[in-house]
């Protein structure tokens, strides 16, 4: 799979590259023809910081941010984004005038939850939801429901890649969009043309990585 990898440069920052691998892949909600390998973007210090700088530019200084809620292993980016927002002068209403960076948990039923010790960093807080990628918007919708259930105030949704520009009334800010990936397609599983041609899946993928089949 890796030998087919292609690097796509960010349209706004030539220091940021997204690695894509063509093929037939299944997410939890859809089938896609590109796997986006964000391993280094999420774990390499220089690239995580560059992504954070790009996402920081999506928020005006008057946007209050108390908490960044990280999905898909984006905690390193989340920490840098918090630092960028604080340095830019964004207001935090937290007692110590700094930003929390938290990650939700998923219970046995697949429900997104915050334990009691973390829920206080969401309840009544101005939150940014940070994801690696969004294809169908289902994860964003699920996350919005959870944050609102715990009393969080959503100030923004940020992603490294998003195929949707808006979800549930919220703009999705991102570094890469569908137009930046030539030929990118996403399908409902029952409508996937690869499946109809009996082309086997290359891998199961999610925001954390892939598992070859």
Mean pLDDT for all residues in the chain: 93
Tell me 201's DSSP state. Answer: P
The pLDDT value given to residue 14: 85
Q: Over the stretch 11-38, which tens digit does the pLDDT of each residue have?
A: 888 889 999 999 999 988 899 999 999 9
**Does residue 1 register a pLDDT over 80?**
no
- Residue 2, classified by CB atoms within 10 Å of its CB into exposed (0-12), middle (13-18) or buried (19+), is exposed
Q: What is the pLDDT of residues 121-137, one digit of tens each?
A: 999 999 999 999 888 88
At residue 195, the pLDDT reads 95
- On the 0-12 / 13-18 / 19+ scale of CB atoms within 10 A, 103 is middle
What is the per-residue pLDDT across 93-103, written as a single tens digit (0 to 9) for each?
999 999 999 99
Q: How large is the average pLDDT for residues 51-55?
A: 96
Q: How far apart are CA 37 and CA 19, in angstroms?
A: 5
How many residues make up the chain in this entry?
213
pLDDT at position 38: 92
Which ranges in the chain belong to alpha helices (H)?
39-43, 45-56, 75-88, 116-119, 138-149, 193-196
Q: Is 105 helix (H, G, I), strand (E, B) or coil?
A: strand
Q: Looking at residue 175, what is its pLDDT?
A: 95
Q: How far apart are the first and last CA of the chain?
A: 11
Say which residue, 67 or 136, is predicted with more confidence: 67
Q: What pLDDT is attached to residue 108?
A: 81
The per-residue pLDDT for 33 is 94
Judge contact between 78 and 130, C-beta under 8 A: yes
pLDDT tens by residue, 188-209: 999 999 999 999 999 999 878 8
Closest to 165 in 3D by CA, of 58, 52, 12? 58
**Residue 143: half-sphere exposure toward Cβ, Cα within 13 Å:** 25
- Whether 107 shows a pLDDT value over 90: the answer reads no
Pick among 1.20.1260.10, 3.40.50.300, 3.40.50.970, 3.40.50.2020: CATH of 2-212: 3.40.50.2020
């Amino acid at each position: 799979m890796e030998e087919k990898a292609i690097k796509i440069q960010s349209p706004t920052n030539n220091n940021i590259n997204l690695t894509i691998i063509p093929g037939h892949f299944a997410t939890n909600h859809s089938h896609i023809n590109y796997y986006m390998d964000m391993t280094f973007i999420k774990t390499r210090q220089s690239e995580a910081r560059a992504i954070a700088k790009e996402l920081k530019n999506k928020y005006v200084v008057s946007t209050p941010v108390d908490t960044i809620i990280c999905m898909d292993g984006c905690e390193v980016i989340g920490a840098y984004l918090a630092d960028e927002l604080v340095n830019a002068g964004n207001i935090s209403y937290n007692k110590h005038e700094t930003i929390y960076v938290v990650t939700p948990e998923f219970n046995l039923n697949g429900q997104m939850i915050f334990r009691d010790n973390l829920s206080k960093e969401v309840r009544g807080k101005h939150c940014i939801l940070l994801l690696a990628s969004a294809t169908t918007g289902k994860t964003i919708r699920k996350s919005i429901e959870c944050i609102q259930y715990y009393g969080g105030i959503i100030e923004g949704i940020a992603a490294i890649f998003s195929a949707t520009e808006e979800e549930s009334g919220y703009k999705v800010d991102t570094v890469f969009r569908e137009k930046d990936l030539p030929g990118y397609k996403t399908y409902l599983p029952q409508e996937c043309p690869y499946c109809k041609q009996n082309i086997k899946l290359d891998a199961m993928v999610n925001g954390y990585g892939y598992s070859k089949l």
